[in-house]
Amino acid sequence: MKELEKTYDPAAIEDRLYEKWLKGKYFHAEVNRSRKPFTIVMPPPNITGQLHMGHALDNTMQDILIRYKRMQGFEALWQPGTDHAAIATEVKVIDKLKKEGVEKETLGREGFLKECWKWREEYGTRIVKQLHKLGSSADWDRERFTMDEGCSNAVLEVFVKLYEKGYIYKGSRIINWCPVCQTSISDAEVEHEEQNGFFWHIKYPVAGEPGRFVEIATTRPETLLGDTAVAVNPDDERYKDIVGKMLKLPLTDREIPVIADEYVDREFGTGCVKITPAHDPNDFEVGKRHSLEEIVILNDDATVNVPGPYFGMDRYEARKAMVADLDQQGLLVKVVPHSHNVGTHDRCKTTVEPMVKQQWFVRMEEMAKPAVEAFKSGRLKFVPENYGKTYLHWLENIRDWCISRQLWWGHRIPAYYCQDCGETVVSKTEPDTCPGCGGHHFKQDEDTLDTWFSSALWPFSTLGWPEHTEDLDYFYPTDVLVTGYDIIFFWVIRMVFSGLEQTGKEPFHTVVMHGLVRDSQGRKMSKSLGNGIDPLEVIEKYGADALRMTLMTGNAPGNDMRFYWERVENSRNFANKVWNASRFIMMNIEKASDLSSVTEEKLTLADKWILSKINTLSKDVTENLDKYELGIALQKVYDFIWEEFCDWYIEMVKPRLYSEADDTKEAALWTLKHVLIQALKLLHPFMPFITEEIFCNLQEEEETIMLSSWPQYKGEWNFEAEEQAVETIKEAVRAIRNVRTSMNVPPSRKATVYVVSEAEDILGVFERSRSFFAALGYAGEVILQRDKSGIDEDAVSAVIHKAVIYIPFAELVDVEKEIERLRAEEKRLNGELARSNGMLNNEKFVSRAPEAKIAEERAKLEKYTQMMEEVKARLAQLVK
């Protein structure tokens, strides 16, 4: 047995232990038919990523589950990897090139992609190394990348299959367009933020009826250039007579119809809604129902493309000019301040422009149905359950998915256009011959695929699909997905319908949702607020174990949590407690003879109590982890180690350890070692580093705690009677300590403790616990008797279940000194009472002082009066 360092220093052990784990291949999983597999796929962090608190929480939860299952004997695979992060990476590389004076277009596509791969080689593994610092026990030998050869092959396979099935098509629909990045973006990349804006109320003249207008209200007056109708509700009596009539579209020479559609809310605004099908998702659907023209009024850079006075203006510049012109023409009714949600690109913070564009889409109606059925049948579960409703709501209202991006970095769309006849050929490789004209000249589509397209295949593409690999057969479907509630729509749902479509199986059976890590004020951590906390900074200062424990303490699935530095300090203090207790136990074990001879007959009441406690704890923690109640499980382990084991049991056995004559010393040491090992195992998934260091120094049979067996409940260690007995002792000790605390008696002052009870079993409990009860209760002597005979009348008492504890007053307090102290207190209180009575009997004070001041003084008088009564009662008792 090696000796632990005197002081716990995480910096001195964590990197060393992680290297040991990597070298030992302890994280590695292989196909092993003799074991049941357990698989988690890591949500792939972006290669542009820097470890943040969300990553730290997400990966800590996954690591807890994978370490737990590994110790339970499962062939546990935590599949890691990174995402190519199309837009984010492209932006980073463009910025880098600009600093070098190089433009993206100058390099050309192939040259630019070479720069992207160089960037990935240089920076792409940064976040992986940071996950190492956290203690993540993923199988890094299997690390994948969304653009590696295997994943890329899977992407091409799925695209071609879905296209041939009619689920992928090219068409014009409303998409999110970023005018700065010049690409379509997914809903996942749009952040909606509350912004202060305006409602511009505008009059649209009724054609042929001079002086008659309809009034519309819009937050984007510049889009009226693309209006192709004004809609009213078919049941709105106010406008029934103008449905079908034409309106003069302000600032243009066009006329547009008034249509009736149930989309319009009669109670909102004026009840008249301008319809701009090419620049609003809801208007687009209305336009389809009424066969309206779709007029795109903006170029890709958000400048106006409509010929006329606003041509070439930026959208916001055009807005100002158009509002001024409407006002001049008498068509601007009013401008009303209005706060509303505005979509912005999460990367560049530009306001996103909804725009009709020709893009590639996935037809979602049929693909969504199996994903709905998977949830309704119970094969797919959410923790907490309420997130299932969110999942279902999104799927039942799903729209076709825009999957093309106007980027160079990413999976290029495998569509080839014949340069001779225009035929489109979708194929994993460039075709030799055009099926339409027999030509041989092809040009590949310039667009790349949405990053989510490849990450939707992650659970099975990482295991070798579309090849029928052993890994895929053994480890798929995976078991649990751990992810934040903020991407349930974008990633979770896409993995489910992709897994069902391509493999016929749900990619996982359970989705565990976690919340956000917020700052101490409850705000979301962000660069703009400057309130982000770097997990690596926390690790450097307090260690990875302290960070992990902080993230899991009080954590409930789906709930946000607040980050407090005080919590990290508490976690570090707990680690110190575990370290110091372990060091104490190991130092005593070193002095002991062989512990292998200890049998159950040699175990004392206290030994059986703590064994029974750790036995029950093993069962409870296992149940909590199986239900993904990670925070509850950790709290139970924490409470046991800190309170039951360190504060109670270790203190109980100290008299035995310090006595050479005690023949139960070996039993105490055997119990200490055994319980410590079990406690370390239960704590290991949460705090892997400190538990590994202590475990490997405490015993020599196993080389790592992570491959040791998980503690299991043993029926023979259910010592219910012993548990009840020790709880009685603890109740008595607490009662004694409360009495002593109330009388300011120092622990060094010993006193005789009488235990009076008519119950033989209670007296028997105290007899068997006499040595440690005396130590814990600061007793010079423990006397057990059936009645109160021989006990001083002034003895202090405390009632517990079936017994009364008595302590002679004179042994607790030096009577003469206590009388002296109480008389000094009596003198002080007399002064306070005189002052307080004097103020309250003074008419000037009572008539002029604020009511709050008078109430404060009356409260003081009441307090001092009560204190004086107590002092006089104590004095009378002592003098007597």
Distance of CA 138 to the CA centre of its chain: 19
| Angle, CA of 336, 340 and 344, to the nearest 5° | 130
Q: Look-up: residue for tokens 């296992």? A: 622
Three-state DSSP state, 707: helix
Measured CA to CA, the distance from residue 737 to residue 465 in angstroms comes to 66
- Give, in order, the Cα–Cα distances in Å from 291 to each of 134, 258, 565: 57, 13, 60
Which of 335, 306, 312, 314 is closest to 323 using CA atoms? 335
| Angle, CA of 75, 77 and 82, to the nearest 5° | 170
Element (H, E) at 585: helix 565-590
| Signed CA dihedral, 275, 277, 281, 284: sign only | positive
Measured CA to CA, the distance from residue 112 to residue 408 in angstroms comes to 8
Give bridge partners of residue 274 from the DSSP assignment. Answer: 230
Three-state DSSP state, 601: helix
Measured CA to CA, the distance from residue 627 to residue 621 in angstroms comes to 10
Q: How far apart are the first and last CA of the chain?
A: 61
Instruction: List CB contacts of 862: < 8 A, sequence separation 6 or more.
Output: none
Three-state DSSP state, 84: coil
**Side-chain-side CA neighbours of residue 603 (13 Å):** 17
Query: What residue ranges in 280-352 does DSSP mark as E strands?
Result: 332-345
Q: Residue 425 corresponds to which tokens in the numbers above?
A: 């050929």
In eight-state DSSP terms, residue 640 is I
Query: What residue ranges in 387-509 does DSSP mark as E strands?
Result: 401-402, 404-405, 415-418, 424-426, 442-444, 448-449, 480-484
Which of 236, 285, 290, 282 is closest to 259 using CA atoms? 290
Q: Render 765-828 in DSSP notation, one character per residue.
A: HHHHTHHHHHHHTTEEEEEEESS-TT--TT-EEEEETTEEEEE-HHHHS-HHHHHHHHHHHHHH
- Give, in order, the Cα–Cα distances in Å from 219 to each of 196, 294, 319, 342: 10, 20, 10, 10
Q: Residue 675 corresponds to which tokens in the numbers above?
A: 């319980």
Instruction: List CB contacts of 129: < 8 A, sequence separation 6 or more.
Output: none
Looking only at Cα atoms, what is the longest distance across the chain? 121
Q: Residue 344, class by beta-carbon neighbours within 10 Å (0-12 exposed, 13-18 middle, 19+ buried)?
A: middle
Distance of CA 149 to the CA centre of its chain: 32
Peptide bond connecting 221 to the previous residue in cis, omega within 30 degrees of 0: no
Instruction: List CB contacts of 751: < 8 A, sequence separation 6 or more.
Output: 745, 778, 779, 780, 807, 808, 811, 812
Element (H, E) at 90: helix 86-99
In eight-state DSSP terms, residue 711 is P
527 in a labelled binding site: yes
Instruction: List CB contacts of 388: < 8 A, sequence separation 6 or more.
Output: 375, 381, 382
| Angle, CA of 641, 643 and 646, to the nearest 5° | 65
Three-state DSSP state, 106: helix
Detail the residues annotated as belonging to a binding site for ATP: 527
Detail the residues annotated as belonging to a binding site: 527
